[in-house]
């Protein structure tokens, strides 16, 4: 080969590669059109500017039906609107001054109003809806189950096409489409509880029932089922067959004949995704073959019977499709558009209190009914992706790129490049511009978000004025802790430690840690944790100790919080404080004074101030009690005193921080066990192999210590979130094995005019929880009191909640240690409308953001500080 040829070969190779690449990006579909901003003319009082921010993870699908996490809501919260929303409360409702500017000094601190936005009217139509929804007379009288929302008639998509009630019905039908398994579907059948939504959503799954009805001994079995022209199935995993109450797989496995396994394999291979094999001419011998081995454990030999008996025996193992999960037609789902009116009716299984007695909107309207899913029909249909080979799942890339996005909110997506950046600009067709309520707000013309993963680059960008916000982190907290540009906000998150204590699983695990099942040991561990040391070693920075299950951010009565002495905050209520004190060993004397150790005669508040949850003397005492119980019956706890006790510390990732935490817990246990029989015998082992399945590993008992697992959310309903601790069926509960339906709790209800007032009632803990949330009836409990928000006074509900909290703390399965507070920077270009954190409005958000410098002024200002604003951002006044 001549030299020249070889050169060409090398050259061609790399040319081909580069060419293919440029060609690909040449016909790049993306067209970056920048829309001109021709918003409705408004009296220009406020400056307008662009807001530049960064994100470390780009949103990928801001589709209301499937969005996954906080990253996706970066776009979602700006391109959609809600029926109702919150606003500040202004003194004598004067929101605007004469020159149209917002009356900032008139803002009433801690107060809020609930207003109409996309909806024009809200009516309670429980008594008026069709009888098919099955509301009882009593429910019709109480009301709150069915609601009619009349929409504004100027709702439009960003391209001008009008939005009507039919669009909302179409969108709900898509949300509950069984073939898509949309990630957010459960919001509408678990939280909002729309009638028949769940059965419609899961109606695709067939229900199999045996073809030979079950018969007791002595009765003659009925083999009349017509196998010829009905589809019949055999299943190796179903256990409700008539022949025996075992699965065929179990029987084969029990007998252990290798040929049996082959037969089982053959049947499984031919089974459908629900594990059922259709009986056809080819598969009939597979069925008989498997039956032969399934009968062996009973000492029966299939071949010894005649043809007819063999057929009967086979029929006793077969099934037919008796239905499709009560096939539900869309008409039966409790959500429809009213003909002739631009309104939606929603029929629910759960009662809501959305309207006050005077007909005005209650805060719950904007909290629970703020919006229903809405997708643009033509665009949504075009984004449906059929299942690929071998899959049955439909997917959609609606709202996942520039061309597939439709907006009916204040902003519209004008630029989007995956992995790089996105731009939102004001949406001229938003209905809000013609509403007086949104005048002179949304002064941010464009939101430009750039993907920057490296913290240092983001931080330099903030100091250089390129970005307008940044997060307070370990690297900058020392210099900027007191900066006037940092805003602190408490979150509803509480974090702590979970101790797995299901005795059977512990005994089987071979870690010799049956002691975890003893309450005294868990309490000793709880009291041995010094929260101030935990904060110093594990969570330095802006965290604070927390003794109860709920953080200070929870409100038991948000509605009239400004008027209540304790501000409606659960943690400040005297009943909650008393419950916590009792949980940590304080004793209440007859005269209402409290005492612990050598301190006596303390008032409630004085006692609460001395609470730290750390009591080493009491902890050691508890540990010795636990050891006594353990040694009294080692067999029951599978305890071998010659062996060490191993507690497996479960973590989602293997990082230095996680390992330091495990090491810290080891020092706590060593201190606790010092001077007792278990000195130096309790060992913590670190295990991060479960990775993202850390929750499953803990729930199955593979790991026993879950450190840093926490709870948050549902800030206005602590009565509901306590279910995560006391209700075994709650998806958030880590300790479902703790069967609270078996544990009794006796409480004396405070006086008042409500069901059961003044009585001393004893019922199961789970029953108390369901009564507290008005679900006793639907969950058919022994006692069906209804003490939800509208049927019982605060005092009664707080007594129950605090009793439940006290019980959970005493059981010490979940030991809550800290409540979280975070800080973040807002650059000098903008400032919030008010510095005090409002319950609903936060600091005013983007809606009320005040622009200090226009883009041009800002560039000039940054230039004047020659590109380094660090000294400005360190300013404290």
Partner 1 sequence: MDMKNINNIPLEKLRLANRSDTSHDKKLETKPLTYMQDAFRRFCKNKGAVVGGIVISFLVLFALLAPLFTPFQPIYNDQTYAFAAPKNKIFYNLGIDFWDGCREKEGVGYVAYLKDLALGLETGREVIKDGEVEIDENGNYNYRYDTYYGVGFGKYKIISKEEYEAIQAYQNETGRQVLYPIVKYSDRPTQEKNKYDANIYYVTENPKAQTIRPKLDKDGNIQVNYWKYEEGEKSGLRADYNSLRIEGEDGVQENGKTYYYAYGRKVDGGIEVRTEYYEYYIYQHTQVKKDGITEPVFWFGTTSTGKDIFACLSYGARFSFVFAIIVAVVNLVVGVIWGSISGYYGGKIDLAMERFCEILGSVPTMIVITLLKYHMGTTSQVIVLLIAFFATGWIGMAGRTRMQFYRFKNQEYVLTARTLGARDRRIMFKHIFPNAIGTLVTSCALVIPSMIYSETSLSYLGIINLESGNTTSVGTLIAAGQQSLMKDGSAYITFFPCAFLVLLMLSFNLFGNGLRDAFNPSLRGTEG
Partner 2 sequence: MYMFKYILKRLGLMLFTFSIIFVMCFVLIKLLPIPVNVMPGQDPLIVYKTLEGRGWIMNIVEGENGVWHYDRVPIFKQLGIYLIRIFRDGDFGIATTYGEYMNQNLWDVFVSHLPPTILINIYSSLIGVPIGIGLGILAALKKNKWQDQLINVVIILLISIPGIVLSLLLQYFICFKLRWFPLTMETSNDYFSWPVFKSMLPAVFALCLGSIAGYARYTRAELSEVLTSEFMLLARTKGLTKKQAIMRHAMRNSMVVIFPSILGEFISVLSGSLVIEKMFAINGVGGLYLNAITFQDYDFFMLLSAFYTLVGLTAGIVIDISYGIIDPRIRMGAR
Q: Which of residues 854-873 bind partner 2 (CB under 8 A)?
A: 866-868
**Residue 252 phi, psi dihedral angles, 5° rounding:** -60, -45
Q: Quote the least distance from Cβ 724 to partner 1, whole Å.
A: 22
Of positions 42, 190, 257, 479, contacts partner 1 by CB under 8 A: 479
Q: Quote the least distance from Cβ 544 to partner 1, whole Å.
A: 4
Q: What is the per-residue binding string for partner 1 in 602-631, x denoting contact by CB under 8 A?
A: x---x--xxxxxxxxxx-------------
What lies within 8 Å, CB to CB, of 625 at 6+ separation is 520
| Calpha distance 24→215 (Å, rounded) | 69
The item of partner 2, partner 1, none sharing an interface with residue 466, based on CB under 5 to 8 Å by kind, is partner 2
The item of partner 1, partner 2, none sharing an interface with residue 540, based on CB under 5 to 8 Å by kind, is partner 1
Q: Residues in the chain, how many?
A: 877
What lies within 8 Å, CB to CB, of 866 at 6+ separation is none
Q: What is the per-residue binding string for partner 1 in 809-828, x denoting contact by CB under 8 A?
A: ----------x-x-------
C-beta of 417 vs 566, nearer to partner 2: 417
C-beta of 68 vs 657, nearer to partner 1: 657
C-beta of 191 vs 457, nearer to partner 1: 457
DSSP label at 189? I
| Calpha distance 663→224 (Å, rounded) | 68
Of positions 584, 716, 825, 848, contacts partner 1 by CB under 8 A: 584
CA angle 387, 389, 393 (to 5 degrees): 25
| Calpha distance 402→678 (Å, rounded) | 63
| Calpha distance 204→328 (Å, rounded) | 10
Q: What is the per-residue binding string for partner 1 in 436-475, x denoting contact by CB under 8 A?
A: -------------------xx--xx-------------xx
C-beta of 77 vs 652, nearer to partner 2: 652
Q: Report how far apart, in Å, the C-alpha atoms of 353 and of each of 348, 665, 791, 799 are.
A: 12, 46, 11, 22
- Number of residues engaging partner 2 in binding (CB under 8 A): 84
CA angle 263, 265, 266 (to 5 degrees): 65
Q: Three-state SS for 468?
A: coil
Of positions 80, 545, 706, 723, contacts partner 1 by CB under 8 A: 545
User: Diameter of the chain by CA atoms?
Assistant: 108
> Could you give the count of Cα atoms lying within 13 Å of 306 in the half-sphere of its Cβ?
1
The item of partner 1, partner 2, none sharing an interface with residue 419, based on CB under 5 to 8 Å by kind, is partner 2
- Within positions 644 to 703, which residues make up the interface with partner 2, using CB under 8 A? 690-693, 695-696, 699-700
- Within positions 524 to 543, which residues make up the interface with partner 1, using CB under 8 A? 527, 530, 532-533, 535-537, 540, 542-543
CA 198 from chain centre, in angstroms, equals: 18
The item of partner 2, partner 1, none sharing an interface with residue 132, based on CB under 5 to 8 Å by kind, is none
Q: What is the per-residue binding string for partner 2 in 256-295, x denoting contact by CB under 8 A?
A: -----------------x-x--------------------
- Number of residues engaging partner 1 in binding (CB under 8 A): 76
The item of partner 2, partner 1, none sharing an interface with residue 190, based on CB under 5 to 8 Å by kind, is partner 2
> Could you give the count of Cα atoms lying within 13 Å of 647 in the half-sphere of its Cβ?
26
Q: What is the DSSP string of 797-860?
A: HHHHHHHHHHHHHHHTSEEEEEEEEEEEEE-TTEE-S-SSPBTTTBT-TGGGPEESS-HHHHHH
Q: Quote the least distance from Cβ 388 to partner 1, whole Å.
A: 23
Q: Three-state SS for 411?
A: strand
C-beta of 17 vs 656, nearer to partner 2: 17
Can residue 510 be called a binding residue for partner 1 (CB under 8 A)? no
Q: Quote the least distance from Cβ 5 to partner 1, whole Å.
A: 22
Q: The tokens 């209804």 sit on which residue?
A: 786
- Within positions 456 to 495, which residues make up the interface with partner 2, using CB under 8 A? 456-457, 460-461, 463-464, 466
Can residue 17 be called a binding residue for partner 2 (CB under 8 A)? yes
**Residue 426 phi, psi dihedral angles, 5° rounding:** -60, 140
- Within positions 632 to 691, which residues make up the interface with partner 1, using CB under 8 A? 653-657, 659-660, 663, 685-691
Q: Which stretch binds partner 1 (CB under 8 A): 328-336, 599-607, 732-740, 766-774?
A: 599-607
Q: Quote the least distance from Cβ 448 to partner 1, whole Å.
A: 23
**Residue 38 phi, psi dihedral angles, 5° rounding:** -115, 55
Can residue 4 be called a binding residue for partner 2 (CB under 8 A)? no
Q: What is the per-residue binding string for partner 2 in 131-170, x denoting contact by CB under 8 A?
A: ----------------------------------------
For residue 398 the two structure tokens come to: 């609606």
In b/e form, how buried is each residue of 394-411, taking b as 16+ CB within 10 angstroms?
A: ebbbbbbbbebbbbbbbb
- Within positions 294 to 353, which residues make up the interface with partner 2, using CB under 8 A? none
Q: What is the DSSP string of 572-637?
A: GSHHHHHHHHHHTT-EE-TTS-EEETTEEEE-HHHHHHT--S--HHHHHHHHHHHHHHHHH-HHHH
For residue 74 the two structure tokens come to: 């970066």
Tell me the β-bridge partners of 411: 426
Tell me the β-bridge partners of 490: 821
Q: Quote the least distance from Cβ 133 to partner 1, whole Å.
A: 46
Tell me the β-bridge partners of 756: none
Of positions 48, 115, 237, 624, contacts partner 2 by CB under 8 A: 237
Q: Quote the least distance from Cβ 539 to partner 1, whole Å.
A: 9
Cα end-to-end span (Å), the chain: 79
Q: Which stretch binds partner 1 (CB under 8 A): 26-34, 119-127, 405-413, 483-491?
A: 483-491
C-beta of 153 vs 475, nearer to partner 1: 475
The item of partner 2, partner 1, none sharing an interface with residue 385, based on CB under 5 to 8 Å by kind, is partner 2
The item of partner 1, partner 2, none sharing an interface with residue 656, based on CB under 5 to 8 Å by kind, is partner 1
Task: Return the closest-CA partner of residue 63 out of 331, 329, 383.
Answer: 383
Q: Quote the least distance from Cβ 46 to partner 2, whole Å.
A: 28
Q: Three-state SS for 508?
A: helix
In b/e form, how buried is each residue of 581-617, taking b as 16+ CB within 10 angstroms?
A: bbbbbbeeeeeeebebeeeeebebeebbeebebbbee
Q: Quote the least distance from Cβ 252 to partner 2, whole Å.
A: 16
């Amino acid at each position: 080969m001549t030299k020249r040829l070889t050169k060409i070969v090398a050259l061609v190779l790399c040319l081909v590669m580069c060419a293919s690449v440029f060609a690909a990006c040449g016909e790049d579909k993306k067209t970056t059109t920048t829309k001109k901003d021709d918003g409705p003319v408004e009296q220009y009082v406020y400056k307008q500017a662009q807001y530049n921010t960064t994100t470390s993870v780009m949103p990928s699908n801001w589709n209301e039906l499937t969005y996954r996490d906080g990253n996706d809501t970066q776009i979602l919260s700006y391109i959609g609107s809600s029926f109702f929303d919150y606003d500040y409360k202004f003194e004598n409702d004067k929101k605007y001054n004469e020159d149209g500017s917002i009356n900032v000094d008139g803002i009433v601190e801690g107060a809020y109003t609930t207003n109409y936005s996309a909806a024009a009217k809200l009516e309670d139509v429980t008594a008026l809806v069709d009888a098919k929804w099955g509301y009882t007379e009593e429910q019709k009288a109480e009301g709150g189950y069915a609601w009619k929302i009349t929409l504004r008639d100027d709702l439009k998509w960003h391209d001008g096409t009008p939005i009507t009630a039919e669009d909302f019905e179409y969108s709900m039908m898509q949300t509950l489409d069984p073939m898509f398994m949309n990630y957010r579907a459960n919001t509408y059948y678990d939280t909002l509880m729309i009638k028949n939504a769940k059965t419609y959503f899961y109606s695709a799954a067939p229900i199999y029932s045996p073809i030979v009805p079950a018969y007791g001994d002595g009765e003659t079995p009925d083999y009349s089922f017509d196998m010829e022209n009905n589809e019949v199935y055999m299943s190796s995993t179903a256990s409700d067959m008539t022949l025996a109450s075992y699965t065929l797989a179990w029987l084969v496995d029990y007998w252990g004949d290798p040929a049996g396994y082959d037969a089982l394999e053959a049947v499984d291979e031919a089974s459908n995704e629900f594990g059922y094999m259709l009986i056809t001419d080819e598969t009939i011998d597979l069925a008989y073959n498997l039956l032969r081995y399934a009968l062996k454990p009973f000492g029966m030999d299939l071949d010894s019977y005649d043809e007819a008996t063999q057929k009967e025996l086979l029929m006793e193992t077969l099934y037919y499709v008796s239905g499709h999960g009560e096939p539900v037609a869309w008409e039966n789902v409790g959500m429809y558009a009213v003909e002739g009116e631009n309104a939606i009716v929603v029929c629910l299984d759960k009662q809501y209190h959305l309207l006050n007695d005077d007909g005005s909107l209650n805060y719950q309207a904007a909290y629970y009914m703020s919006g229903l899913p809405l997708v643009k029909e033509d665009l949504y249909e075009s984004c449906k992706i059929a299942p690929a080979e071998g899959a049955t799942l439909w997917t959609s890339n609606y709202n996942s790129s520039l061309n597939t996005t439709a907006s009916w909110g204040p902003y519209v997506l004008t630029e989007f490049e995956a992995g790089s950046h996105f731009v939102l600009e004001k949406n001229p067709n938003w209905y809000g511009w013609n509403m007086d309520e949104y005048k002179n707000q949304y002064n941010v013309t464009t939101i430009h978000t750039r993907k920057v993963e490296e913290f240092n680059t983001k931080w330099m960008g903030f100091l250089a004025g390129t970005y307008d916000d940044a997060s307070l982190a370990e690297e900058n907290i020392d210099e900027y802790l007191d900066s006037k540009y940092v805003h602190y906000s408490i979150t509803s998150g509480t974090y702590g430690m979970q101790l797995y204590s299901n005795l059977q699983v512990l005994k089987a695990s071979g870690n010799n840690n049956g002691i975890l099942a003893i309450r005294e040991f868990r309490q000793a561990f709880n009291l041995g944790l010094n929260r101030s040391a935990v904060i110093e070693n594990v969570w330095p920075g802006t965290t604070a100790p927390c003794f109860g299950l709920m953080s200070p951010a929870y409100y038991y009565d948000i509605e009239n919080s400004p008027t209540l002495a304790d501000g409606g905050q659960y943690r400040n209520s005297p009943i909650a404080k008393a419950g916590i004190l009792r949980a940590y060993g304080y004793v209440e004397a007859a005269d209402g004074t409290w005492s612990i150790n050598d301190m006596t005669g303390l008032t409630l508040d004085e006692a609460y101030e001395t609470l730290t949850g750390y009591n080493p003397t009491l902890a050691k005492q508890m540990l010795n009690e636990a050891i006594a119980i353990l040694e009294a019956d080692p067999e029951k706890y599978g305890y071998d005193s010659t062996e060490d006790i191993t507690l497996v510390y479960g973590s989602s990732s293997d990082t230095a921080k996680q390992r330091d935490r495990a090491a810290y817990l080891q020092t706590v246990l060593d201190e606790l066990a010092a001077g007792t029989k278990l000195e130096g015998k309790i060992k913590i082992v670190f295990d991060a192999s479960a990775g993202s399945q850390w929750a499953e590993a803990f729930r199955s008992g593979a790991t026993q210590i879950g450190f840093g697992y926490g709870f948050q959310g549902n800030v206005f309903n602590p009565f509901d979130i306590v279910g995560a601790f006391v209700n075994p069926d709650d998806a958030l509960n880590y300790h479902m094995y703790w069967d609270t339906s078996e544990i009794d709790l006796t409480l004396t209800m405070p006086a008042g005019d409500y069901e059961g007032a003044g009585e001393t009632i004893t019922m199961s803990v789970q029953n108390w929880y369901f009564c507290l949330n008005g679900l006793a009836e639907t969950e058919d409990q022994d006692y069906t009191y209804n003490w939800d928000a509208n049927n019982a006074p605060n005092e009664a509900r707080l007594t129950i909640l605090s009793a439940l909290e006290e019980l959970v703390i005493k059981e010490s399965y979940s030991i809550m240690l800290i409540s979280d507070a975070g800080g973040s920077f807002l650059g000098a270009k903008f400032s919030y409308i008010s510095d005090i954190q409002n319950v609903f409005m936060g600091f005013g958000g983007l809606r009320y953001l005040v622009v200090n410098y226009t883009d041009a002024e800002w560039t000039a200002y940054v230039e004047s500080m020659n590109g380094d604003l660090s000294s400005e951002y360190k300013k404290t006044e």
